[in-house]
Each structure stands twice: as C-alpha cells, then as structure tokens.
Structure 1
C-alpha cells in the first residue's frame, strides 16, 4: 500500500462530497482517480467500468428491486394503518402507550417492507398527528418514530443484509435473516423502555382500555399483512425457495393483498413501478461504484494493510470490536449504508474472523452500527424523512433523540459482546 494512493482516495472522496456531488458519483470518481495513479487512463477507466458491470451481474442482487417493489406496494396498500390499529389495541392502554404503538408498528412495518425510510414515512405520517392530538410533544413523537424505524433493517427481510452477503463472499442470507430477529427485538425493547420512562416522567396519557374482542378483530385485520413474514422467512428457512425467489413471491403476495384491501388499483401500478425503478437505480448505482472502489482498494492492498495494523495493535477481540464499532459509528454519520457495507466488509471481516468472530454475527453487528448512522446528520436519511413528516427542523429533535441514541448504543454493546443474541436462532435452525 502506497501512502499516495490512500491520500488520493480519501481526499478526492471528501472533496467531491464536500462540493455536493452525489455519493455514488463521489465513490466512482474517487476509485477512478486512485487507479489512474498506476494505470494508464484508458485501461483504468475501462477497468472501473468493467468492475461496476460485473459487480451487478449477480442473481442475489435481483432480490433488491423485488423487495423495493414489495415495500412500495405495502406503502400504498393500507398496511401501515392496520398494523397501527393492531398495536394500539394490544398495548395502547398503557401509560404513554402511543409511543409503544409507534415503536411496535414501526418494527412490524419496517420488517415487512424492509425499508426504514418507508417505515418512518408511513408510520410517522399516521402516528404523528394521533400522538400530538393526545397531548404528546411533537419532537418526542418524531424521535420515537425515527429511531424505531431503523429496526426494520435488522429484522428480516432486509435488503442491506443481502448486500452484506454479497460483500462478504457468500454468507448465508437465510442465516443472516434469522439472526436479525433477536437483535432487532432487543433494540425495540430498549427503545420502549426509554419511551416508557420518559412518558411516566412527563405524565403522558394512557389510552382507553380495549376489550379482548377488539384486540382479536384488529389482529385478524392485520394477519394477512403479518403472513408475509411467515411466507418469506418460512420459505427460505424451509428450503422452499431462495431469498431472490422469496422477494418475487413477496411482490406477488403484496400485490394481491393491496388489491384485496382495495387501496391500490391497476391505475396506480405505473407510478408505483416508476418509484421502484427510481429507488432501485439509486441503490444499484451505489452498489456498482462501491464494488469498483472495493476492488481498487484490494488492488492497492489497503484492506490487508488495515487488517495487519489492527491485528498488530491487539489480538484482544473485545478491544478490536470496540475499535471497529467506533469506526463504523463514525462512518455511518457520513456515509449511506449500502456503500459502507460494501467498502468496509472486505476490510474488517478478515480481521474479526481471524479473532474467531462469526461472519453472521459480524454482519448483524455492522448493520446495527450503520442503523444508528441513519438517525444522525448530515447524511441520516431516516432523520430527514422523520423530520419532514413531522414538519420539524433537525435541531428540534436532536435533544429528544439522545436517550433513544443511548438505548441503541446499549443494544449495540450487548449484541457485540453477547454473540448468542445473534447466533442462537441460526444455530437452532441448523445454520
């Protein structure tokens, strides 16, 4: 590894981001400038283009546009309202129960749609006005919505876990999906604990007690939506279909469900497909340029040098994992999840596997780190969506979000140093 290449890579990336260039283009241009130091112009540009094209030539990546389309159909299909009604009937009568409803609904919708942004938009759009009407502080409601929406990226099905599987060289997607359940539920429980303490301290009201019959009715109404998780995850774990095939089945099921609920008509399908194409293009452009940058870094021996440096620093897994967590938390502040996973997985995975850390455990750990970054400025997409839906400025929600940040960090430390939280279910199912 030559220091000049590293400086060119870092400085060009930072400068390009600083002047407002979209992150996908900043990554691609930084990779191109770095390789041109040692390779002629035509060969360098051609190599980057080839790496981008071959990086997208993956059957596994087909799952991403299908899950995005499935999420779009859910977003339009009235699923959010049904999940909120079920959650409210279940626990809305507790003191500060509307915050619990927000968290549970965000977890359910985020896991079904696989999108934290969709959860923040859909659940926040419905829950924000309801919570404000019942006397909850607007900034507090937005903080609950923003932080809880990220749990859907850990609880499967999750596009980012598919990206990690690709970046790691083929870690089982089924194992990653199953491994995400307990950490996701843990984060949700910690957020509910914080929300409950704040609600009690501020005297937020309890909702009306709902009879068991009403709980049963709302559950029956929500069952068709919840069945998607059973179909997708059950089919993958049972070996009935791959993750990519499951994503196509998810599209078919959500389309039928949206028609059944009469929330989507044939007239709506073109706009839904166009929105899916737009989102997919952004994601796959990030994937392509990130894969090219990962190849350039490998070509320059940057991952190997960083790995050797970390292992030379210490062979204590506790210390190394702490350092990696701090680095990933900082990365998440400035970089979107997809490029972060594709760029840093080849760097850190060899380090942790050399110390005996399971690749499935590290995948959940990495995604959980970067989920926290989605709630932080200046790049936090969920933060911006949550503030936009609540019609608040970012500075209005930063202080109310701090206790929830702390809860997520506590969850991160627990998942980091208690591997069984992640690995118990995969081992139970033989992965």
Structure 2
C-alpha cells in the first residue's frame, strides 16, 4: 500500500509540474505518514537529507560545476570546435562529425550535457544551417551528442553513483567511462556518415597546415584539464574532491589569463550561477537520499528484486528488463535522482547475477544519459530545439536512428564487461 502511495503522489506532483526535488520530498513524507506521526516523520526525513549530503566525496560536485561554468564562459567551446574542424571537418558531412566530436570534448570538460548543448549548439547549429544542413537534424544531433560527456570524466553523475553505491572507486568509474563514452560518440558518427551519404551533405573547407596547428595549439590548454584531473587522481596525487578544486583554479587561470575571455567583473555572476546549479543538484541528492531510505525501510528494493528474479534466472533477460525500465525512467526523471533511487533497487540484483558494481554503474549512467535527449521530458532535447529553432516533432525523425545506434552501444556495454572494466583493470583500480 505504501509503495502505491509513494508512486501515485510522485506521479501526480510531476504531472502538475512541481519541481522534482519537491515532488520526491513530499512523496517520501506522505509515505512515512502511513507508519509514523507527522513530527517524527519530518524529523526523520530531515536527518536523512542532512546525512545524504554529509559526504566529502560530494564536495567534488560544486567544484566541477564551477569549473564547467568557467570553461563554458571562457571561450573553450569555440576553440574546441575549431580543433574538431581540423580533425574531422573535411569529411563528407564534416560539420556533423565536428558537432559530435566537439560535444564529446566539451562535455568531458564541463561535465554537463545541458551546458554542452547550449555552448556547442550556439556555435555549430548556425554554421551548419549556413552550409545547408537541415535545422531539425542539427538540433537532434547536438542533443544526442551532448550526452556522451556524461560518461567521459570528470563526470558529476559518476560521482553521485559512487556515493549511492556505497564505495565504488571514483577513479575506477572515471576510467571505466572512457571506452563506453567514446563508443557512444562513434555510434553517432556512424549515423552522421549514413545521413551524409543519403542527404549528400557538403564537406568542410580544407584548412592549411599552419592554421590547423595554430587551432590545435589554442585548444590544447583546455584539453589538458582532463589530463591533469585524471592523471592526478590515478597517480594518487589528489582525491576526486581535490581534483575538482584544482580544476577550478586551472579554469580561472585559463579563462582570465590565457584566453582572457572573462574579466573580474563577470566572476560574481558566474559564481552565482554555479551556486544556483549546485543548490538544485544538492537538494535533489538530499531528497533522493531520503526517498532511498524509505524504499529500504519498506523493503521495496527486496520486493522488486524478488519479482525480477522470479521472472527469469537468465542474466541476459534480467539485464534487458533493467535497461528497458531505465530507458523509460530516463525519459521522465533527471539523472541525479534516478541514480540515487534505482541504484539501491537494481544494484543488488545485478551483483547477485554476476555484474560488478562498477560495470552496473557505467551501464546505469549510459542508460540515463540516453534519457536526457528522449521525449517527453529530456532536458537537452528542449535546449536542442531552442538552439535549432525547431520543434520536438521535427527533430524526432532524425533522433530515431541515433537512439538505435546508442541502444546498440548500451547493449554492448551491458553484455561485454571488458568495455567498462578493461581500463580500470589495466591501471589496477579493481581486482
């Protein structure tokens, strides 16, 4: 009965467009009121919310959010686009490949699919329009490609999963996300190649060698952020949280001193925006932690686990069901609460069937990343439509082949553990 109340209230509040963090909190409170009085229920929820945020690991999130804001405003996107043009711009349909590669590079640096869609889209979509690419295709491609950065570190979502799973190494997750994230980008490039041939897309202009070297050199300091963060974590020089602080300092120096596209007067606005984003994320984490606790209190994860295992004892079937459920969830629920809610539900089942927590985390984040550009609630989908000045209906026809390609990569990641575990094992991050 309590589980039905939880789901019903949450769905009703979501339909009424109540903010998702508030919806989660109210649904959790209503469920607790079935078993305890009002004051103890409120006290317990407050304690669980506070406990959910009492984590040194979570301090990495505001740091990476701030570094992403600085990178987004500091001219990084434009330089990465120019570097991508040098690498893949001369292929048939070159600007489409440039779009995907730019989203992969900027997404890995900023750690935000929303920021990637907005930043890269503002450069690439108008330029693709001028070259004769269809605006609806441009919007669909930008929205889909922006999700690849959620797997390529540093990724805030992987940090959230590390906390929710209760101990998976952030370093291992960061390394585990590289191959699946790159494969996701390559799958979209295959779709671009298909459309380039079918729609006779134009090649990009050839760039002289001297100009190409100059553009690559200008983008190199931005790309060094990834090397500094990952190299420092793998080398044991600093933790993921300390890496976030270093990323902020590096982004400040890069934006203020090297590229000089941000001045001191703009910093208060950037800090305020970072605080706003951090507050939203942290409130989601707090309320989702309380919800995860009430789910455990009501034995809902165990019930769902037993139901799944009763359907079949074949891991192939169970993992497919998990993915299908998560694909539907990702179309309606933001990544952070989805990770916090479904990790305690599905992780025990996955482990029981032989999937490692690291492998499950990469599968989970990839699945929910696809949901970011899935109708009806995908956040980057709406931004892609806004940037391309088109409608969801118009871009949906181009999204279908992209979804199919991304789904194949998701299935490969699910059933081929070495894609997620190969690099972490190579660096002795897991046994």
Please tell me the TM-score bracket, short chain as reference.
over 0.9
> Residue 165 of structure 2 is aligned with which of 163, 168, 182?
168
Q: Aligned-pair distance for 1:314?
A: 2.0
> Residue 277 of structure 1 is aligned with which of 265, 275, 278?
275
Q: Aligned-pair distance for 1:278?
A: 0.6
Q: Distance in 2 between matches of 1:213 and 1:119?
A: 28
Kept in 2, the 8 Å contact 1:59–1:244? The answer is yes
2:369 matched residue in structure 1: 371
Q: How does 1:147-166 map to 2 (within 5 A)?
A: 147-166=144-163
2:315 matched residue in structure 1: 317
Would you say 1:57 and 2:69 are equivalent positions?
A: no
Would you say 1:139 and 2:136 are equivalent positions?
A: yes
Q: Distance in 1 between matches of 2:100 and 2:209?
A: 21
> Residue 305 of structure 1 is aligned with which of 294, 303, 306?
303
Deviates more, 1:148-157 or 1:201-210: 201-210
Would you say 1:412 and 2:410 are equivalent positions?
A: yes
1:179 matched residue in structure 2: 176
Q: Distance in 2 between matches of 1:128 and 1:420?
A: 36
Kept in 1, the 8 Å contact 2:330–2:368? The answer is yes
Would you say 1:286 and 2:284 are equivalent positions?
A: yes
Q: Aligned-pair distance for 1:377?
A: 2.1
> Residue 76 of structure 1 is aligned with which of 73, 77, 95?
73
Kept in 1, the 8 Å contact 2:135–2:389? The answer is no
Q: How does 1:181-220 map to 2 (within 5 A)?
A: 181-220=178-217
Would you say 1:262 and 2:260 are equivalent positions?
A: yes
1:29 matched residue in structure 2: 26
Q: Aligned-pair distance for 1:21?
A: 0.8
Q: Aligned-pair distance for 1:305?
A: 1.2
Q: How does 1:4-153 map to 2 (within 5 A)?
A: 4-153=1-150
Q: Distance in 1 between matches of 2:208 and 2:260?
A: 28
1:339 matched residue in structure 2: 337
Q: Aligned-pair distance for 1:19?
A: 1.5
RMSD (Å) for aligned C-alpha atoms: 0.8
Q: Distance in 2 between matches of 1:397 and 1:110?
A: 21
Q: Aligned-pair distance for 1:386?
A: 1.2
- Deviations along 1:135-160, one digit per CA (max 9) or x if unpaired, are 11111111111100000001000000
Q: Aligned-pair distance for 1:270?
A: 0.4
Aligned length: 428
- Deviations along 1:334-357, one digit per CA (max 9) or x if unpaired, are 111000000000010000101110
Kept in 2, the 8 Å contact 1:328–1:370? The answer is yes
Deviates more, 1:306-315 or 1:369-378: 306-315
- Deviations along 1:13-47, one digit per CA (max 9) or x if unpaired, are 11111112111111000000001101111101110
> Residue 385 of structure 1 is aligned with which of 383, 386, 408?
383
Kept in 1, the 8 Å contact 2:151–2:180? The answer is yes
Q: Aligned-pair distance for 1:111?
A: 0.2
Structure 2 unmatched runs, 5+: none
Q: Aligned-pair distance for 1:196?
A: 0.9
Q: Aligned-pair distance for 1:378?
A: 2.3
Q: Aligned-pair distance for 1:393?
A: 1.7
Instruction: Report the secondary structure of 1:334's partner residue.
Output: coil
Instruction: Report the secondary structure of 2:244's partner residue.
Output: helix
Kept in 2, the 8 Å contact 1:89–1:214? The answer is no
Q: Distance in 2 between matches of 1:145 and 1:338?
A: 22
Kept in 2, the 8 Å contact 1:368–1:412? The answer is yes
Q: Distance in 2 between matches of 1:318 and 1:7?
A: 29
Q: Distance in 1 between matches of 2:310 and 2:374?
A: 32
